[in-house]
Structure 1
């Protein structure tokens, strides 16, 4: 069992950063992302030391993270209020304003639409991988992607230069 704990520690150190990045993209909140990763690693640890240990622990952890995020969004208390102001975040990207605009627009989507877009486009997962992680069919992922991108375009508005048909 001690070997399993050491193996889990190595696993958590190796994939913790990737899980945090995904959690931050899903939430847009540094502290909530840390909480989701911690809760996810707790769930992974529970199965790590049992005989039900997953064959692909990274995929299991990503799936657990996305499901934890969706559950959190469902349970969100009435005391929490979204804000119109996104705090300034340090960025290394050349177009920080675009990144903040996209993150703000993602925050306005519902949890499943946001999860599909983050997994498909930020995490560069295939339709099949996204479907497996969210427990959906490939067709459902494709249609949800299509509708979520359309909603994202609506949230971004007509001034979005990437929108087809927009005039400069």
Structure 2
């Protein structure tokens, strides 16, 4: 199997998962697609190294999270494209109120806290694995996760008093 065939087979199988992780990070399907596209490009460029790692999904996820965090550090005008015509609104999707509340609460978190929560609880990574992806210490992961969970609790149940 050629290099391109291996890459195509992997991306075909893992694309929906990468899109879901990206959506959880940025809360916008269009932006999630952009993040995945950038991550896919970086993965393709480094495919020789990537295909030799023990955990390819972990490698791809790390690339995706780092693309997201790098984008968060750039100025808003570098992320916004001005168009002459507004795009047609997306079709309405049915969703439960609790899912909408959780998405809104997740979107309100700062980017690194959001990334920590997504990696720890959606991707089911350990503290050490999350620290490796975020390129920080385990203590930072713990504090970011703790602050994120406190923020989610406040957003989802304002009557809860946190100390």
Shift in CA distance, 153/63, structure 1 to aligned 2, threshold 3 Å: same
Gaps of 5+ in 1: 81-86
4+ aligned runs moved over 3 Å, structure 1: 50-54, 87-91
Separation of aligned partners in 2, 1:11 and 1:52: 11
Q: What's the RMSD between the two structures over aligned residues? A: 2.3
1:106 aligns with 2:110: no
Would you say the 8 A contact 1:117–1:145 is kept in 2?
yes
Residue by residue over 1:11-60, the C-alpha shift from the partner in whole angstroms, topping out at 9 and shown as x without a partner, is 10111111111001111111111111111010000011x45755132211
Instruction: Report the equivalent of 1:28.
Output: 27
Gaps of 5+ in 2: 81-90
Number of aligned residue pairs: give it.
Answer: 150
Instruction: Report the equivalent of 1:120.
Output: 120
Separation of aligned partners in 2, 1:146 and 1:41: 31
Separation of aligned partners in 2, 1:47 and 1:128: 24
Instruction: Report the equivalent of 1:84.
Output: none
Instruction: Report the equivalent of 2:70.
Output: 71
